[in-house]
């Protein structure tokens, strides 16, 4: 169905436009609902290999998230959890497709525990909560890759060791110092 966009010179044109759009979008919604109700998008074979996760983050990550909330709220920052690396950085589009895929594949399945942004969603600081799994060889390699990558792109990253208790004041000071030094560095580069 083709939707004709007519100028709104009188009430009839407005009603015609609303009617045409409503029918078009209702048709799309009904079509989508029909496909869902007929199980075209859910296959019993998927349930044999996938399972629904109940929680987005671990209990330890949630505990630290709550601590961060109390800190960043005062600083007028936002927290995002489990952010895919490709949402933080991107592969340059000037690379040929083979190179692009090679470098995208290095980041596509990695995530950062917490990303602090300003109210406009500009990335300010990335935080990794390092538990005992970060002592495994493959995790050490992954962490080194992330550290090198972030350092080369001038993205501040803070690594916090998992703990039963956190010194909130110390974490707050560390975050403020990192943000301030990063802001100063960026101002000096732009001069």
Every domain of the chain and the residues it spans:
11-49, 59-189
Residue 30 has pLDDT above 80, yes or no: no
- What pTM was estimated for this model as a whole? 0.72
Per-residue buried b or exposed e for 81-110, using 16+ beta carbons within 10 Å of the residue's own CB:
bebebeebeebeeeeeeeeeeeeeeebeee
pLDDT band at 102 (very low <50, low <70, confident <90, very high): very high
Sheet holding 78-84, edge to edge: 78-84, 111-117, 123-130, 157-161
* Poorest-pLDDT segment among 46-60, 138-152, 154-168, 177-191: 177-191
More confident call, 189 vs 19 = 189
The predicted pLDDT at position 87 comes to: 97
More confident call, 180 vs 20 = 180
* Residue 79 bridge partners (DSSP): 116
pLDDT band at 1 (very low <50, low <70, confident <90, very high): very low
CA angle 132, 137, 142 (to 5 degrees): 90
Residue 41 has pLDDT above 90, yes or no: no
Q: What are 70's two structure tokens?
A: 């109390």
pLDDT band at 4 (very low <50, low <70, confident <90, very high): very low
First and final C-alpha spacing in the chain: 55
The predicted pLDDT at position 184 comes to: 78
- Using the Cα atoms of residue 111, residue 114, residue 120 and residue 123 in order, give the sign of their dihedral: negative
């Amino acid at each position: 169905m083709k939707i004709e966009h007519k100028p709104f010179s009188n009430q009839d044109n407005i009603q015609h436009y609303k009617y045409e759009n409503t029918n078009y979008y209702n048709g799309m919604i009904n079509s989508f609902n029909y496909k869902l109700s007929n199980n075209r998008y859910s296959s019993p074979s998927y349930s044999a290999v996938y399972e629904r996760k109940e929680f987005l983050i671990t209990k330890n990550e949630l505990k630290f998230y709550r601590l961060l909330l109390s800190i960043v709220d005062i600083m007028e920052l936002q927290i995002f959890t489990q952010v895919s690396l490709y949402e933080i950085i991107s592969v340059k589009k000037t690379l040929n497709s083979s190179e692009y895929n090679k470098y995208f594949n290095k980041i596509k399945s990695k995530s950062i525990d917490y990303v602090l942004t300003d109210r406009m969603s500009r990335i300010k600081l990335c935080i990794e909560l390092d538990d005992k799994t970060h002592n495994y060889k493959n995790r050490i390699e992954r962490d080194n890759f992330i550290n090198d990558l972030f350092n080369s792109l001038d993205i501040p990253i803070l690594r916090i060791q998992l703990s039963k208790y956190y010194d909130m004041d110390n974490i707050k000071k560390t975050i403020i110092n990192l943000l301030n030094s990063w802001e100063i560095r960026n101002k000096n580069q732009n001069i």
